[in-house]
Structure 1
């Protein structure tokens, strides 16, 4: 060893000294120190390797999280159930790099039903060895806890399963689709590629996405049920009109001896008996069909109004009848008197009336449900033609208006709470009337402001003009309301652009709203507008049929990389 190396390495110097002196104790100590040094170097290399692997895993988990978050927004923008289910499963399989995927939703009885598959045809799944582990999906559904295995062939929870052995499955993950504490289904993924495909963080990651997906699925199911109920109510109303228009009366006549002389086809159809069987029978034979009819015939004082009676039918059961009895003169026997019995079958009418009453109540409930988040004209359009609207997840051009009471926060600090509420209620009452008069969609109230949409779900050419008309009317209405001795003043922003319109919320409440650049820009313009003024963007201004006088400004708007052309029009 060179003198230079010995100077650079203390252990080398000690080793040389021990060798030169023959000190065995020192030689042993140096050897032990060298071994410890080698172990330390190996541990340092292993630690560096683990740190590099952890950094790679963290980057991979972050990429998964970003992808799931981005797709969750897309899923929530649609109300078409099939589209939502397919998007949820495809995303889960793609992000987790799984080979197969199964999405199961619980039916009304709480039984899991397979709705969507990935990597395998649904018909093929009917084979017992191709299905996901039923024990696994039931456990996840019942406990609400995710299950994951990194090697199903070695995991005693899975290796007894027929499909796991037949398909040589390695990695399996199953998570619940849950809304708060209620589980509505499960997402199951597996792969034969290799053990350890799913990381320890994947159950939490996939569960977070599944919870968002469950809300979107429940929204889509709720909307589908409401739309189906409206269609069914409309069908029943049409059926009722046809049935009521085709009802005819049954006619039965008795001769002077009380013998049935006429039993027409309508009567035969009503009672489900051949007319030939009844013709020529004594009147008491009618008692088997209409209990109490003979008492009515023998009554000296016939009721002036029709009597409602019940009758028996061999297959239809109890019938509801309207019975009219009147004496008739018989021309073939001088002075003799017979009887005419007119029978109207009210059975179907009464059933339909009960159904109609229930339908009216259902229609009222549906109207109330939609009225919470749709403008009145949209609700009426949906009730008239439930299949005519495409709600949820549609791209459209919208004009969005934001209006805010200037200085109201400071004003609220000076006034009593009752006075603050009174002022807001007066302003919002006037604002709602103005918005609905111009067919706007009142999206929301926020604090002392409101957001109004012109366009989806029914886009019109005059959306921009109606938005400006609402702004002008809101300014006028605000000046009629005084607060602290001064009239209110509004700052209003209006912008037009492409948006995504859809329902966002939970099964207990859904809001029809729009998201996109137009909504963001309108909010920014409102924040920039001085009291009593309205700022509109260039796209809105160009859509106005008659250009109002206004100052053109070039302004830097937060969220926009380049300056924006705006017009101060009021």
Structure 2
């Protein structure tokens, strides 16, 4: 790395000083020259704006609370807001990426140049204007992404999880494999009940029931994948996996059963069957530009559906697959009764678990 004494500084190549003839400064420019290694802080959020920083070489990452905002490179200027907003402090951290060389112009010198050089003031305003235009463009880009994300996920996720998605700004429709939990819940005898109701009344009563179920799923941090007629499907592990996701799913299933029992459709109490399974799940957007849909796929999904179908055979409201049962705490597992050799269509003989003392449905 060259020493300051070996480095020549040509201010004419720096846009902040462009067009200023016979520029005079009140100190040796070498005194303003500073070098930073990779990862070193050039300025810190909240510190006084005691100088204006001109990047002469390298790249600087601008961070706020450890979140990356933007990169700045030579010959960009940092810290100009401290002189347009008198007495302000640094609004973000600036950290060197690789070797960085900067010119730190002292506060007093910046104020003097603003007083004596209209061209310096004009150059500074151009720099600020360019940053404002960049910020406006970036904000528009983020708003467009947020609108797309909100349209895609707001009806599927609890508001707090949607906020986390927006903060991270990732492409959450991209295909991936997760270790998750799948829940299927279906209304018992719904087809027979629905035949005796006018369409509008059926839609209203079913909608009221589904609203209740979605609220419970959201309260337990599930992704509500879809409705299939009167059935509802929830997933844990997307978009964020959690060590408590199986416990959340189990508690959610019990609460759904209890809440459903307080609802009626066609004057009859709602009875539901819930199936739970856990394991590897594909999730992401499938289809093309003509029709694209976010979904989850795989044996874990199929097994949850088969567990829900087994509720009637096992006279249970909740049926849990063996892999899901293995992820429960001992206290939670103690609530369940094992059923060995249960035959599931397309899967074979398996061991399933139900909550004890269930009333037959």
Equivalent residue for 1:470, pick from 209, 228, 252: 252
Q: Normalising to structure 2: TM-score of the pair?
A: 0.60
1:248 corresponds to 2:70:
no
Equivalent residue for 1:526, pick from 295, 308, 329: 308
Higher helix share: 1
After superposition, residues 201-216 of structure 1 pair within 5 angstroms as none
1:383 corresponds to 2:166:
yes
Give the equivalent residue in structure 2 for 1:447. Answer: 229
1:500 and 1:514 in contact (8 A); partners too: yes
Give the equivalent residue in structure 2 for 1:272. Answer: 119
- Between the aligned partners of 2:205 and 2:72, the Cα distance in structure 1 is 48
Deviation of residue 509 (structure 1)? 6.2
1:549 corresponds to 2:335:
yes
Any idea what SS the aligned residue of 1:418 has?
A: helix
| Root-mean-square deviation (Å) | 3.6
Give the equivalent residue in structure 2 for 1:535. Answer: 319
1:411 corresponds to 2:247:
no
1:490 and 1:532 in contact (8 A); partners too: no
2:194 and 2:266 in contact (8 A); partners too: no
Any idea what SS the aligned residue of 1:543 has?
A: coil
1:237 and 1:356 in contact (8 A); partners too: no
Q: Normalising to structure 1: TM-score of the pair?
A: 0.40
Q: 1:369 to 1:474 in 2, by over 3 A?
A: same
Any idea what SS the aligned residue of 2:344 has?
A: coil
Deviation of residue 244 (structure 1)? 7.0
Q: 1:363 to 1:396 in 2, by over 3 A?
A: closer
Equivalent residue for 1:506, pick from 270, 273, 288: 288
Q: 1:243 to 1:420 in 2, by over 3 A?
A: farther
Q: 1:420 to 1:237 in 2, by over 3 A?
A: farther
After superposition, residues 275-354 of structure 1 pair within 5 angstroms as 347=129, 351=133, 354=136
1:559 corresponds to 2:349:
no
Any idea what SS the aligned residue of 2:205 has?
A: helix
- Between the aligned partners of 2:178 and 2:148, the Cα distance in structure 1 is 26
Give the equivalent residue in structure 1 for 2:354. Answer: 568
- Between the aligned partners of 1:238 and 1:436, the Cα distance in structure 2 is 41
2:338 and 2:353 in contact (8 A); partners too: yes
Which digits, 9 at most, give the CA deviation of each residue in 1:138-171, with x for residues without a partner? xxxxxxxxxxxxxxxxxxxxxxxxxxxxxxxxxx
Q: 1:481 to 1:273 in 2, by over 3 A?
A: closer
Q: 1:568 to 1:513 in 2, by over 3 A?
A: same
- Between the aligned partners of 1:518 and 1:537, the Cα distance in structure 2 is 9
Deviation of residue 535 (structure 1)? 0.6
- Between the aligned partners of 1:459 and 1:249, the Cα distance in structure 2 is 44
Q: 1:548 to 1:414 in 2, by over 3 A?
A: farther
2:247 and 2:328 in contact (8 A); partners too: yes
Q: 1:359 to 1:517 in 2, by over 3 A?
A: closer
Give the equivalent residue in structure 2 for 1:458. Answer: 240
Equivalent residue for 1:358, pick from 140, 152, 155: 140
Deviation of residue 445 (structure 1)? 0.8
Deviation of residue 243 (structure 1)? 6.1
- Between the aligned partners of 1:237 and 1:509, the Cα distance in structure 2 is 37
1:392 corresponds to 2:179:
no
- Between the aligned partners of 1:433 and 1:511, the Cα distance in structure 2 is 22
Deviation of residue 356 (structure 1)? 6.6
Deviation of residue 473 (structure 1)? 1.1
- Between the aligned partners of 2:226 and 2:297, the Cα distance in structure 1 is 13
- Per chain length, whose mean CA-contact separation is higher, i.e. which structure has more relative contact order (CA < 8 Å, sep 6+)? 2
Q: 1:273 to 1:522 in 2, by over 3 A?
A: closer
Deviation of residue 236 (structure 1)? 6.0
- Between the aligned partners of 1:486 and 1:249, the Cα distance in structure 2 is 68
| Structure 1, 377-386 or 539-548: larger mean CA deviation | 377-386
Unaligned runs of 5+ in 2: 1-67, 87-110
Give the equivalent residue in structure 2 for 1:479. Answer: 261
2:150 and 2:162 in contact (8 A); partners too: no
